[in-house]
Amino acid sequence: MELSRLSPQQGPDFLVRHFHEQFIQPLQEYSSQGCKKIRTRLVQLGTTFGNPEMSTVSAVEGFCQAIELLHSGTLIIDDIQDGSLTRRGRASLHIEMGLARALNLGSWLLSASQKMVEVSVENSRHRERLLLLLRDTLYWGHLGQSLDLAIDIREVDRARVSEVIFQSHRFKTASVTALSVAGGAILAGADLATEDQAFALGERVGLLLQKLDDLKNLRWDRTTPEKRFEDLRQHRPSYVWAWASRSENIYENLVASVNAFPDETQLLVWLKETQIFELALAELREEMKEIEFSLHSSQKKMAHEMFEQLLAAVEGTQG
């Protein structure tokens, strides 16, 4: 990730060295840990909603980096708030560098994402529109995170479980993917109506992405003991609860299984009997097809390749 444009341009040499040691170096190591850059691909998809030739390479690359900075910052802070010990197969950043420094880095990254847009996008109308969307994303993202942290999903009436989870995922995850696609459209000169279409697509993909990620957490055979069933253990608004809430019996058995933790036996039986992983994944495949069907030919190809990458990660055929 190219961050030289964010480096202090004035000041003593020690400040530049400090910036590199405390911000650039940890971030480069963190960003290299198996990141799939899905949001960068969504920006590129967004440019097809306008005229891709109108978007300058430097502006698109700068905005893609801004999205990755935002995403990395939210992951670092999310791991602190969740008490997660690992991320992408190694110790979480707050474990490696200490909570205070990691929190500072994560907070800085949220600001750095805005700064990257300011220094990368020369077109003033595009820049102002992107910054407005970015600020909105941060605003709604914190609300979504609050829902995720504060709600014990077991205490929500079963009839309202799906709506609570939808709103949490919409604000926390889908807002960033919507920003990605809409931002690409803005950089390609799309009008407001087309930008709204791009935003809606990004939001839909984000909700799908979160569902897949929640299902991946059920892969008890492919996750570390610390990450296995993490969402269920913490009673967070996960797609698993939404899927189970369709049936009173299935839902009650899930609640009982979760209440039996740390003993996982009951949950493993529940997973086998409900076949949630296989059935839910089949539903999400159909949803992917519906999204692809709504796109034109060049967009279909980009979306299909992205969806196949996501499925490979969930099914365990990709590291």
Instruction: Assess contact for 35 and 319: CB atoms under 8 A.
Output: no
Cis preceding linkage at 225, omega within 30: no
* Tens-binned pLDDT, residue by residue, of the chain (319 aa): 567 778 776 668 888 888 888 888 888 777 755 455 788 899 999 999 998 777 788 899 999 999 999 999 999 999 999 888 888 778 888 988 899 999 999 999 999 999 999 999 999 999 999 999 999 999 999 999 999 999 999 999 999 999 999 999 999 999 999 999 999 999 999 999 999 999 999 999 999 999 999 998 888 665 666 678 988 999 999 999 999 999 999 999 999 999 999 999 999 999 999 999 999 999 999 999 999 999 998 899 999 999 998 898 888 744 3
Nearest-angstrom CA–CA distance, 16 and 12:
7
Structure tokens at 158: 């079963």
- Spatial contact of 199 and 178, defined as CB atoms under 8 Å apart: yes
CATH of the domain at 18: 1.10.600.10
What's the N-to-C CA distance of the chain in angstroms? 21
Of all helices (H) and strands (E), which one includes residue 301? helix 297-315
Q: Which structural domain range is residue 254 located in?
A: 4-315
**pTM of the complete model beyond 0.85:** yes
Q: Which pLDDT score is estimated for 135?
A: 96
261 with 233: CB under 8 angstroms? yes
How many domains does the structure of the chain reveal? 1
pLDDT at 88 (0 to 100): 73
Q: Is the C-alpha dihedral spanning 45, 51, 52, 58 positive or negative?
A: negative
Tens of pLDDT, residues 140-181: 999 999 999 999 999 999 999 999 999 999 999 999 999 999
DSSP H helix total and E strand total for the chain: 16, 2
Question: Treating both helix axes as pointing N-terminal to C-terminal, what angle do 297-315 and 276-293 enclose, rounded to 10 degrees?
Answer: 170
pLDDT attached to residue 319? 36
